[in-house]
Amino acid sequence: MRGVTRALLLVHALLPWWSRGTGQVPDSGALPPPPPPTRGPPMWLRPAASLVLPGAGQLLAHQDRGAVYLAVELYSVARIIQLTHEGEQQASRFRDLAFEVARRGFAAARRDTVFEYYETMERFAESGQFDRGPGTAFIPEADTATYNGSVWLLARRTFWSDPAVPPDPMSPEYLHAVQFYQQHAVGPGFVWSWRSKPLEQDVFRETIRRSDDAFRTAQNVVGLLLANHVVSAVDALISSRLSAAAGRRTALHTMLGPVTAVRLSVEF
């Protein structure tokens, strides 16, 4: 009996040494340590994805509203392309009208110029002559109903003491007025006239208005496109930070309408 007791004591003394050698720990009733937490994607990934492509960050987090951001993006791009094409078509049309109707007989070769020129053609039925002098002497257009005549009137009012009384043609006042006129009047290569063609001028005005409206609306849609990128990125950033702070998947839901509501959901 004494031998059995000594054997049990020896086994009890050698058991910890054997456990350390084999890497095993005797069962003492303690629970094993929990596994290390798995690390998710970096916090900046979803906001960066949404900034590049709206809705991408939400779709990465399995949030259905990402499809809404993506739909707004596709609609905006398609609308911008459509409006830009329409604006260019209308611009080509009013340029054709200007050359084929108002400038016919004044210019042999077609030459384009700045948009302000076509806006001036809306307001004046005729450009007037650039130089009405029969010889070498330069005589500006005097008919104030024409564009060039209105420019010469403005020059006289600006530089002459009395617009109705011309000073000496060699005086600084007269020369400054002529210089102003030459800088702002329409030259010989761009003379026009809508005389006896009022209906064509009305169509010309309407075509310019349509072109302006199309380009202006396209610019507004570009603003919507940029706002969609920013809102989607901010949405993804807030959701990522809330998820990291809560340690659980978190979603921020925004509902826009007559009453704007923001709802936060946390997975348990």
Q: Phi, psi (5° rounding) for residue 255?
A: -120, 120
Q: What pTM was estimated for this model as a whole?
A: 0.68
CB 60 within 8 Å of CB 232? no
d(CA 65, CA 54): 10
Which pairing describes strands 261-266 and 250-255: parallel, antiparallel, or unpaired?
antiparallel
d(CA 50, CA 15): 60
More confident residue, 267 or 58: 58
Residue whose C-alpha is closest to residue 158's, from 143, 172, 173: 173
The reported pLDDT for the residue numbered 38 is 53
SS3 64: coil
The reported pLDDT for the residue numbered 16 is 55
pLDDT tens for residues 129-160?
999 988 788 999 999 999 999 999 999 999 99
Q: Phi, psi (5° rounding) for residue 264?
A: -110, 125
More confident residue, 60 or 213: 213
| pLDDT at 11 exceeding the cut of 60 | no
The one-letter amino acid at 178? V
| pLDDT at 8 exceeding the cut of 60 | no
pLDDT tens for residues 84-134?
999 999 999 999 999 999 998 887 788 889 999 999 999 999 999 999 988
The reported pLDDT for the residue numbered 242 is 81
The one-letter amino acid at 211? S
Residue whose C-alpha is closest to residue 239's, from 28, 37, 69: 69
d(CA 77, CA 223): 11
